[in-house]
Amino acid sequence: MKIGNLNIEGTAALAPMAGVSDRAFREICFDYGAAFAVTEMVSSKALTMQDKKSKELLVISEKEHPCAAQIFGDDPEIMAKAAKKAGTFSPDFIDINMGCPAPKIAGNGGGSALLKNPELISKIVREVRIATELPLTVKIRIGWDQDSINCTEVAKICEAEGADAITVHGRTKSQMYAPPVNYEMIKAVKEAVKIPVIGNGDITDIESAERMLNETGCDFLMVGRGALGNPWIFRKLNAYFSDGAVLSDPTVEERMEQMLAHIRKLVEYKGEYIGMREARKHSAWYIKGMRGAASFRQEIGKLEHIEELEYLADKIVKKCR
């Protein structure tokens, strides 16, 4: 797949997830074969005001390319300035968030709220396109709610204003993450535009990835929650779609080794206080489905030091042998 002049190899990309797809997790997913990644979403307003936290979210290491810088907001002029600023962090392309359903984002006019205003979408994409020479993508949902599904209209607008690819999450904003993905509407977007369409939503394994490709005809896959505690998904998808190989799941020992490697990165990049608190959710995802997971999650919820996690990982391995 090509995004503008950028050639993308592989099968699936890592989706942008607030509080999850940070530098540490992106690097790990690249190690396992993610085709590209997208940063956590950054407020265009905060970025243009030199907000320190926003800048930190845009740090992209040498190990994670190609990678997009994702921005959100509802002011075309500020979005254009943010795109220029984001470009100074050496991303490979810029992504506009028009799909986030979180109340604090959509409630303030950003993210999926833009789907209610196609005219504003047109202005935003146009101004960002003018502001940056980098390839430009847009991530959307199929609509605000079931009574206002307008993803094909939005996709056509984005294409007309210069977007190089579009990612479609197959749910409305109102549906959040609960109901099944609407493959028909992703397919409709694919048929409505000539630029690449990336399918997103409920891709958790080979079967769901194959279904997304077969039922929508999309050009590429984007994995979000399916990668939580499961960065191996990229290696498995690449192996299957390249030569039909079905790789086995990692052993408990392998899962725990990767969990510890992940959390050590978090601590290195964010310090122990923040890193170990963020480690709690990641560690809970890594042990999902294991014997005794419920009781182990209680211990995970109290983690403060990496040594505590190392001790717990050893206990989990012994319990699950």
Catalytic residue positions, numbered? 100
Q: Contact, 234 vs 32, CB < 8 A? A: yes
- Position 119, amino acid: E
Bin 167: left if φ > 0, else alpha if -120 < ψ < 50, else beta: beta
- Distance in angstroms (rounded) separating the CA atoms of residues 45 and 63: 28
Rounded to whole angstroms, the Cα distance separating 158 from 165 reads 9
Angle ∠(134,201,41) on CA atoms, nearest 5: 40
At a CB cut-off of 8 Å and minimum separation 6, what does 108 contact?
74
d(CA 173, CA 149): 10
Structure token pair of residue 237:
């998808």
**Residue keyed to tokens 């890594």:** 286
